[in-house]
Amino acid sequence: MPHVVVVTFALVASHVVTAIDHKPKSTTRLQRLANVEANRRGSLLVDHYDEDWSRLWWVRIDGAASVHHGDGIHESAIAALVAKYTQYSDRAPEGPVIAISQDHITSWESTP
């Protein structure tokens, strides 16, 4: 069953990555990490909303997923997230990283 979570993300080589950061969570045993470790698959949906509906679009990336901590993928992911989000410049994410390979990309836009 899909588990939908709003995340920050970045692209690193052929992976889309997200990290567990310091924002408050109800537990450190996050279901999204357990799901990735059990299923080894993941998806990321990015959408753009605009009051002008002719400017709507979305992109979905599906692929093999894995959890990383303390390895090269983790380090590259954290660097990419810090570079993309100024909110991380004072405090970079310290938790595990989820990496999803870009096996299949689906997209839609309201006007081609």
Tens digit of each residue's pLDDT, the chain (112 residues): 778 999 999 999 989 999 999 888 887 789 999 999 999 999 999 999 999 999 999 999 999 999 999 999 999 999 999 999 999 999 999 999 999 999 999 999 998 6
DSSP letters spanning 26-79? S-SS-HHHHHHHHH-EEEEEEEE--SSGGG-EEEEEEEEEEEESSSHHHHHHHH
Q: pTM here?
A: 0.91
In tens, the pLDDT along 59-76 reads 999 999 999 999 999 999
